Structure 1
Amino acid sequence: MIYHSRRQFLRTATLGGLALSTPGVFAELVQTPRQTEGPFYPNKLPLDTDNDLIIVNDGLTSAIGEITHLSGRVLDIKGSPVRNALVEIWQVDQKGAYLHTRDPRHKLRDTHFQGFGRFLTNAKGEYYFRTIKPVSYPGRTPHIHVAVKIKGKKRLVTQCYIKGEPQNARDGVLNHIRDQKQRESVIVDFSPIKDSKIGELQARFDIVLGFTPEDHH
């Protein structure tokens, strides 16, 4: 059932991305703001670093949490897709623990949650992850860390937040983004997938890099 829903979602995501396939379709693109990497980027990468964070290797037990299909596109400042960009995500598990071994909550973590994943964008600049809806931990609103690596360019690190989350208003990292449009650009809907039998969510986070098409040919 999960894999059927996943295929169904990917088809929907592709159709939903058509509006972005033409450069300049929007009058204005908002450059994705840089944010702190935080202290807990994995200090020891897992053996499994694929884009499915719900299942580790060939395990049979899924991670605890609300399954979320996170997708989007990596674009340059002109709206052109950026292919072969390495997108990485990392986040806490349902218990609020990072994969990093020096996280105080590390010993409590859900060992069935991968905690970190990678995906190389396709010709349309698209990426996709299956993960869990982020949860809060002391001092932070729920968020997913996102990094984009492109050969010859400075690595972009940012974070993705949940639209409508009350803790957003009190989060120092999020509200350090002074530009309102940039701040709003990293806050996205985590919405239910229609007809999902297990309550899956989908979230779309498009990442706009600060260079022109000529810079990455």
Structure 2
Amino acid sequence: MLLDGTSCNHNLWMRFHEVIEPTRPRLMKLSSLYASSASRRHFLRALSLSAAGLWTPGVFAEALTLTPRATEGPFYPDKLPLDQDNDLIILKDSTTPAVGEITYLSGRVLDPKGNPLKNAVVEIWQCDASGVYLHSRSGGNVEKRDRNFQGFGRFETDSKGGYLFRTIKPVPYPGRTPHIHMKVKLRDKELLTTQIYVKGYAQNERDGIWKRLPEGAVRDSVTVPFTSKSGGKAGELEAKCDIVVGLTPAE
């Protein structure tokens, strides 16, 4: 059965709750969840399991809309953090979460025919709640940088092309609308660099990079809703963005 994006997202979070139900009391309270490194490892494992095996590759009569390329920007980390996993909210054994609206960002990496890209590496990076990147030349007030925000993360897609991150809802900073940078690699080859935007955010209309995206399906493919997470803790959000990359015959 062909699953649409809504069904995929619903199944993802149903599976997520099945995986972590035994530890739900800890998950409902952040201070308890991050009390030990064992809890953090269990949570990251739950994230990985929840992304695995839940999507069925579709059979499309026509090619999917390719995800548009976008500038990498000047703030890809010039020094990668030691912690590079898919949970950007907590650093290693810290008990203090990052400031911001917790967001579960998920989706699939596909080729134009809807086939999943297994073992592709998805990277994301973004500024913290104060508008500061994990970069030595980041703009904004660097002294206010959230030391509890990882700022960068990686995830290797599963057999269905699925990826999953826990991060914060992106915020604006001078000159830019809220966005999350994303890069996709396969066998050490960079396939795509793009940016993900918040659907309905007023500043989008004034953002030069967003406005250059072709209107319609192309722009919509990277401008996604950030909505309350079904069954989640109060204030938690979820966003889903499938990534479609063009491949050469050799790939």
Deviation string 1:89-146 (CA, Å, 9 cap, x unpaired) is 0001110110101113333210000000000001110000000000000000000000
User: Among residues 183, 192, 196, which one is paired with 2:232 in the alignment?
Assistant: 196
How many residue pairs get aligned? The number is 212
Misfit runs of 4+, over 4 Å: 4-15, 25-28
- The 8 Å contact of residues 57 and 115 in structure 2, kept in 1 or not, is answered as yes
Deviation string 1:11-55 (CA, Å, 9 cap, x unpaired) is 88779x64xx23324744110010000000000011100000000
Identify, as 1 or 2, the structure richer in helix.
2
Q: 1:117 to 1:25 in 2, by over 3 A?
A: same
| Structure possessing the higher radius of gyration over alpha carbons | 2
Between the aligned partners of 2:57 and 2:76, the Cα distance in structure 1 is: 34
- The 8 Å contact of residues 183 and 190 in structure 2, kept in 1 or not, is answered as no
Amino acid corresponding to residue 127 of structure 2 in structure 1: V
For structure 2, list consecutive stretches of 5 or more residues without a partner in the other structure: 1-24, 30-42
Instruction: Give me the CA root mean square deviation.
Output: 2.5
Amino acid corresponding to residue 118 of structure 2 in structure 1: R
After superposition, residues 1-217 of structure 1 pair within 5 angstroms as 1=25, 3=27, 18=55, 21-25=56-60, 27-105=62-140, 106-151=142-187, 153-211=189-247, 215-216=250-251
Between the aligned partners of 2:47 and 2:230, the Cα distance in structure 1 is: 10
Amino acid corresponding to residue 184 of structure 1 in structure 2: D
User: Taking structure 1 as the reference length, what is the TM-score of the superposition?
Assistant: 0.88
Q: 1:169 to 1:14 in 2, by over 3 A?
A: farther
In the TM superposition, residue 151 of structure 1 has moved relative to its aligned partner by: 1.9
Between the aligned partners of 1:26 and 1:143, the Cα distance in structure 2 is: 32
Between the aligned partners of 2:93 and 2:72, the Cα distance in structure 1 is: 29
For structure 1, list consecutive stretches of 5 or more residues without a partner in the other structure: none
Between the aligned partners of 1:193 and 1:149, the Cα distance in structure 2 is: 28
Q: 1:44 to 1:10 in 2, by over 3 A?
A: closer
SS in 2 for 1:167: helix
Higher normalized contact order (CA 8 Å, seq sep 6+, divided by chain length): 1
- Identity rate of aligned residues, in percent? 53
In the TM superposition, residue 211 of structure 1 has moved relative to its aligned partner by: 2.2
Between the aligned partners of 1:26 and 1:91, the Cα distance in structure 2 is: 35
User: Taking structure 2 as the reference length, what is the TM-score of the superposition?
Assistant: 0.77
